[in-house]
């Protein structure tokens, strides 16, 4: 069997490694839990596709978006800034 220990969902000590039966299962697992992960230190949110990851980065980690909100300008709030597993 194959064992995944990649962050953020399969790495010890906070998460259990994931056992996978085949390389096809590994590819599916990687696509769901490791392909679209927020790289901002301390975040590690996981998203189903690139579009949601990009929205998250803009809404939660983009300094220009934060400045616009502080100035009272409207911004699109498509996602809340939480970790999605």
Could you tell me the two tokens for 22?
A: 């085949």
Residue 18 DSSP symbol: E
Task: For the chain of 85 residues, list the mean pLDDT of each consecutive stretch of 10.
Answer: 91 91 95 92 89 90 85 68 50
Q: Which domain holds residue 13?
A: 1-35
Same domain? 78 vs 56: yes
Q: How many domains does the chain have?
A: 2
Q: Which residues pair with 19 in a beta bridge?
A: 3
Put simply, whether the predicted model's pTM sits higher than 0.75 gets the answer no
Same domain? 77 vs 53: yes
| Domain annotation covers residue 21 | yes
Same domain? 1 vs 28: yes
> How far apart (Å, rounded) are the C-alpha atoms in residues 52 and 60?
12
| Domain annotation covers residue 43 | no
| Domain annotation covers residue 40 | no
- Closest listed residue to residue 43, CA positions, set 59, 29, 64, 28: 59
> How far apart (Å, rounded) are the C-alpha atoms in residues 33 and 84?
10
Same domain? 2 vs 31: yes
């Amino acid at each position: 069997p194959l064992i995944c220990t990649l962050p953020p969902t399969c790495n010890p000590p906070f998460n259990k490694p994931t056992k996978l039966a085949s390389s096809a299962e590994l590819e599916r697992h990687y696509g769901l839990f490791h392909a679209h992960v927020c790289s901002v230190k301390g975040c590690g949110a996981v998203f189903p596709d690139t579009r949601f990851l990009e929205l998250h980065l803009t809404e939660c980690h983009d300094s220009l978006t934060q400045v616009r909100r502080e100035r009272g300008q409207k911004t699109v709030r498509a996602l809340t800034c939480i970790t999605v597993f």
